[in-house]
Structure 1
Amino acid sequence: MERPLLSEKRSEIDENERLSSYQFVGRTGSVIPTASLAGMDVSIEEIRSATSFSTHYPPSVHAPLISSPQPHPNEQIIPHQGPYAMDYGAYSNDFQRQLLDEVEIRELLIDHIGHRCCWGSHPARTWKIHAVEDCNVYVGTLETFLEEREMVNETEPYHGGNLDGKDKSPELGLWELDLRSQFPVLFVPYKETRVKIPHSEILEKCSDCAGRGNIPCPTCNADQEPGFYKENQMSQCPACYGRGLIAHRDGSDTICTKCDGKGKLPCATCGSRGLLKCETCHGTGSMLTRKIAVAKWKTLSTRKVSATSGAASVPDEIFHTAKGVQLCNTQAYQCTPAYFADSFFLNKFSSDVIADRASVPPTARVICERHTISVVPVTRVTMRHRKQSFSFYIVGCSREVYLKDYYPARFCWGLCPCLEWLKV
């Protein structure tokens, strides 16, 4: 009979000890107070007023787009059962750590190895599980959703028609444009739109041809002063050298077919007109210039990871993508640090995330911010056989296995071309 490699004593550890790493989760009063921190539920009026800190910001935010913060797709929220119960902004003791036994640990490792070509499962099946450690990680994020506007000039040939200039109505300022029809859902990664600024059209002379519609031929009128040209400029025929006749060895002459006996050829560029149609204005002599507002909506993200020494070797990207448990989720025009009544560490961690918020460009305005703190369960497992050992991590609520470098049953040493298939 196969004997279990884990001692029975470990399976009988007191429940309080097994949850010691989560002792601050869900304590009474550990909520984010909604009365003292403004902006827990963002209203359209708040955003409109708050974003007008330097210049007038028009009502360009759709009220239906402003809603209660939602958890990220890879996170779950802890329902709060206290007097401040809300859909967000609180945490509770309903969270239970996922306990893994030996069978589950081995199954997860064997499944992970099964997706790696040329890796053997013998160590995963037979080596002794020497240690199972909790190395839980906290992930803090601050997302700043902003709108950036800049103005560019757009010029095109004028082919006639009515002008939308300042004579009809005053030109609107860049931040006076109503872009409600273009406004995206909050916290989209990026969206850009281009809108013509009303009453900004100006008609100007083409600078390349000075409004004439034509430019001197650069071939036959290359040395002429601007605005002057000569017609009927001819060049010597290269076939007959200007004679108009082609001499033969028997002493006879024939008329040059290239110049029809004239000895000269018209300019190949302009046909000796001396002028070419201006390509910039298409021969109209006028250019229509209008101002274009380029609006960009994007989300700037600040992310921080607080990991114990046991999980220090795991890249932060693993924790950012892992499925965790959300401890708080606040949304406001400008988020403030979260408050946990019984955890100085979480308060400090939240303050650090807020302090590192991304800088906002001078051409942008902040629309809204979202601040989250999540805990990602991480279990470090060490397996040993004689004097050999290796460690791997079980990360997140979805129990993804992360094995950094060493695994004792790798047969191709990274040289097998089939490993490239795994990267696809």
Structure 2
Amino acid sequence: MEQPLLIEQGIVYQGGYYGDASGTTGDLRRQVLDEVEVRELLIDHVGHRCCWGSRPARTWKIHAIEDCNVYVGTLETFTEERDTVVEKELYSGGSVEGKDKGPETGIWELDLRSEFPVLFVPYKESRLRIPHSETIEKCSGCDGQGNTVCPTCNADQDPGFYKEGQMTQCTTCYGRGLIAHKDGSDTICLHCKGNGKLPCATCESRGLIKCQTCQGVGSLLTWKVAVVRWRTRSTRKVNATSGAASVPDDVFHRAKGVQLCNNQAYQCTPAYFADSYFLNKFSSEVIAERPSIPTTARMICERHTISVVPVTRVTMTDRNRSFSFYIIGNDREVYMKDYYPSRFCWGLCPCLEWLKL
């Protein structure tokens, strides 16, 4: 089934490359930001943080602006997994669609084209009753008898053996059958009617109770259900310079960059770049980390992308103090890991939740 090619991160670049890990460039120019743009981005970022002051963003000196572009590689493996489970219900009579009506359909012979999702969806599950898989089986809970031994009055009996008429001592008269009064007289215990014993409260001393599995029917109707799961198993890898090493990988995976390759095939092989040994090696490393496929699953398709995410590291100083932040991706998102010099909260406001992002 033909599926549309999905491009999730940035745009596909058809020219030269950003270069190798040392930072040389090809036909594609780096992201260029002047001091005015850098300061405006930081002021906007600070303005969305409760209890953050804007003075450092407005007045501190921009000491350095460094390019720290990051390469992001992904391999998405789209798989289909099929498994069977057995479901049961009480059998109350009627026809059964078993193997006498036709051969049971194999799990990989089921036609699920109407259920097939768009390629590379994160997860989808479908359940389908397998034709001609119904059977009638004897209830294992009661061996088809419909009753089980009472656990109260026949607790020590072996399976299949029980005693009827088992009685318990009356808790009102303690087995006397009489109730003693302060004047020395006795009256018949109304609870046990003077017998001193009571029938089993669980089974009325029958010794048997109705099987809870089959509700006394003794038989169950069983059938097989095919459980089909489509999922995308992802391998992600980031190559960052030392200047961007403190930024979590997830930040780069969320950022929009420029795609240097986007290959889709049944099974992807490493991409080839005629003028970049580094990118060839990086692509091979991503492919080498392909996730393992369970024996109950099959591979449908793979997609391999390599993107370069523009990253600018900015350092600002004021006398002997300094702090750094990053401008990441085509959308120029500001990321600041820990320190900003003008914060006025002490754990009492929501801004600490933003700091965890």
Fold conserved (TM > 0.5)? yes
Structure 1 residues 309 and 241 mapped into 2: Cα distance closer, same or farther (>3 Å)? Answer: closer
Task: Note if contact 2:129-2:223 (Cα within 8 Å) is conserved in structure 1.
Answer: yes
The answer to whether the aligner puts 1:166 opposite 2:70 as a matched pair is no
Match in the other structure for 2:232? 299
Task: Note if contact 1:71-1:326 (Cα within 8 Å) is conserved in structure 2.
Answer: no
Task: Note if contact 2:14-2:260 (Cα within 8 Å) is conserved in structure 1.
Answer: no
The answer to whether the aligner puts 1:99 opposite 2:99 as a matched pair is no
Q: What letter matches 2:69 in structure 1? A: N
Match in the other structure for 2:11? 76
Separation in structure 2 between the aligned mates of residue 391 and residue 230 of structure 1, nearest angstrom: 83
Match in the other structure for 2:290? 357
Report the alpha carbon displacement of residue 288 of structure 1 after superposing the two structures with TM.
2.4
Match in the other structure for 1:334? 267
Separation in structure 1 between the aligned mates of residue 202 and residue 211 of structure 2, nearest angstrom: 13
What is the SS of the residue equivalent to 2:128? strand
Structure 1 residues 274 and 344 mapped into 2: Cα distance closer, same or farther (>3 Å)? Answer: same
The answer to whether the aligner puts 1:131 opposite 2:64 as a matched pair is yes
Match in the other structure for 2:19? none
Match in the other structure for 2:127? 194
Separation in structure 1 between the aligned mates of residue 230 and residue 257 of structure 2, nearest angstrom: 28
Match in the other structure for 2:342? 409
Separation in structure 2 between the aligned mates of residue 384 and residue 420 of structure 1, nearest angstrom: 24
Q: What letter matches 1:70 in structure 2? A: L
Match in the other structure for 2:112? 179
Deviation string for 1:303-362 (max 9, x for gaps)?
A: 111122222222211111111111211111101111222222222211111111111112
Which stretch has the larger CA shift, 312-321 or 242-251?
242-251
Match of 1:108 among 41, 44, 50: 41
The answer to whether the aligner puts 1:264 opposite 2:197 as a matched pair is yes
Report the alpha carbon displacement of residue 80 of structure 1 after superposing the two structures with TM.
6.6
What is the SS of the residue equivalent to 1:120? coil
1:23-422 alignment, distance < 5 Å: 44=1, 63=2, 66-67=3-4, 69-72=5-8, 74-78=9-13, 96-412=29-345, 415-420=347-352, 422=354
What is the SS of the residue equivalent to 1:345? helix
Q: What letter matches 2:121 in structure 1? A: V
Structure 1 residues 244 and 392 mapped into 2: Cα distance closer, same or farther (>3 Å)? Answer: closer
Report the alpha carbon displacement of residue 253 of structure 1 after superposing the two structures with TM.
2.8
Deviation string for 1:198-243 (max 9, x for gaps)?
A: 2222222112211110122222333444334343333343333444
What is the SS of the residue equivalent to 2:227? strand
RMSD: 2.4
TM-score (norm 2): 0.89
Match in the other structure for 2:22? none
Structure 1 residues 136 and 275 mapped into 2: Cα distance closer, same or farther (>3 Å)? Answer: same
What is the SS of the residue equivalent to 1:347? helix
Report the alpha carbon displacement of residue 411 of structure 1 after superposing the two structures with TM.
4.0
Q: What letter matches 2:351 in structure 1? A: L
Structure 1 residues 320 and 256 mapped into 2: Cα distance closer, same or farther (>3 Å)? Answer: same
Separation in structure 2 between the aligned mates of residue 416 and residue 247 of structure 1, nearest angstrom: 69
Report the alpha carbon displacement of residue 165 of structure 1 after superposing the two structures with TM.
1.7
Report the alpha carbon displacement of residue 390 of structure 1 after superposing the two structures with TM.
2.4
Q: What letter matches 2:269 in structure 1? A: T
Deviation string for 1:131-189 (max 9, x for gaps)?
A: 22211111111000001122222233322222222222222222222222222111111
Report the alpha carbon displacement of residue 415 of structure 1 after superposing the two structures with TM.
4.3
Q: What letter matches 2:7 in structure 1? A: P
Separation in structure 1 between the aligned mates of residue 159 and residue 312 of structure 2, nearest angstrom: 80
Q: Which runs of 5+ in 2 are unaligned?
A: 17-25
Q: What letter matches 1:404 in structure 2? A: K
Separation in structure 2 between the aligned mates of residue 388 and residue 248 of structure 1, nearest angstrom: 92
What is the SS of the residue equivalent to 2:316? strand
Separation in structure 1 between the aligned mates of residue 347 and residue 148 of structure 2, nearest angstrom: 65
Task: Note if contact 1:336-1:354 (Cα within 8 Å) is conserved in structure 2.
Answer: yes
Deviation string for 1:227-271 (max 9, x for gaps)?
A: 343433333433334443323233433222112233332221111
Structure 1 residues 187 and 252 mapped into 2: Cα distance closer, same or farther (>3 Å)? Answer: same
Task: Note if contact 1:138-1:307 (Cα within 8 Å) is conserved in structure 2.
Answer: yes
Structure 1 residues 418 and 280 mapped into 2: Cα distance closer, same or farther (>3 Å)? Answer: closer
Separation in structure 2 between the aligned mates of residue 181 and residue 155 of structure 1, nearest angstrom: 26
Task: Note if contact 2:174-2:196 (Cα within 8 Å) is conserved in structure 1.
Answer: yes
What is the SS of the residue equivalent to 1:167? helix
What is the SS of the residue equivalent to 2:99? coil
Separation in structure 2 between the aligned mates of residue 143 and residue 328 of structure 1, nearest angstrom: 14
Separation in structure 2 between the aligned mates of residue 312 and residue 217 of structure 1, nearest angstrom: 68
Q: Which runs of 5+ in 1 are unaligned?
A: 1-43, 45-62, 82-91
